[in-house]
Amino acid sequence: MTITAAADGSALGNPGPAGWAWYIDDEAWAAGGWKHGTNNMGELKAVLELFRATEGVDDDLLVLCDSQYVINAATKWMAGWKRKGWRKADGKPVMNVDLLQELDEALAGRRYRFEWVRGHVGHPLNEAADERARAVATAYQRGAAVPTGPGFPARRGGTAPAVRPGPASASPAPPAPAPSAALFDLGEPDAARVVPVGLTADEWQRLERIAREAGLPADEVLRGLVRDALRPSRRARSAG
């Protein structure tokens, strides 16, 4: 079996508010982005997250791209860049090296091929990915909620892992509003609950900064905040 998916990026101003998206169908797609990024960053990140989302699936992957840069980077240039220490023929550092190194790792051992499609000519999968990437860029521009999509559902033969952060210089999208695992563990196994949490882009950035400074995952920081908030009420119950 072959999974056919489109991957696309969008940047308003290039650089500017940026988004990425991959799309298989209305039940399997994902998107994210940054407050400030480039179109090439979005194009690379879309392909990277597509491979990550489908990494547990034993199917071939056909990736439809309207970016010759991404296709050539993945299929022609990457090996040479690696041999040269991620430098181009002129000795200058390769742009977007963090994303390229992550993509190189994600491609290892996978069965895939890329197909170039012309953008903005009505190709249904390409248009769907483009619309979602542009919607994310627009959301960052307006300070609105970012549409992240359902991911790759487990019922389709894989898992839907959380989107990993992009380059350190970019601000990742806020988390999806409905996490697939228990977000808060209150220390009582029979009381664990899935709690949807909606954060603004600014709130997510503040949480990420706190987590980075503490060297902890963002969800662990959130659990700690909740536990701290609940401790007085627990002591009150014990006293009662």
Please say if 9 is a catalytic residue: yes
Residue of 26, 85, 120, 122 marked active site: 120
Please say if 130 is a catalytic residue: yes
Residue of 102, 130, 208, 219 marked active site: 130
Residue of 43, 49, 208, 219 marked active site: 43
Torsion of CA 147, 8, 50, 64, to 10 degrees: 140
What's the chain look like in SS3? CEEEEEEEEEECCCCEEEEEEEEEECCEEEEEEEEEECHHHHHHHHHHHHHHHCCCCCCEEEEEECCHHHHHHHHHHHHHHHHCCCECCCCCECCCHHHHHHHHHHHCCCCEEEEECCCCCCCHHHHHHHHHHHHHHHHHHHCCCCCCCCECCHHHCCCCCCCCCCCCCCCCCCCCCCCCCCCECCCCHHHCECCCCCCCHHHHHHHHHHHHHHCCCHHHHHHHHHHHHHHHHHHHHHHC
Residue of 49, 66, 102, 219 marked active site: 66
Give the residue among 10, 67, 65 at the shortest CA–CA distance from 38. 10
Sheet containing strand 2-11, strands side by side: 28-37, 16-25, 2-11, 60-65, 112-116
Which residues are annotated as catalytic?
8-9, 43, 66, 120, 130
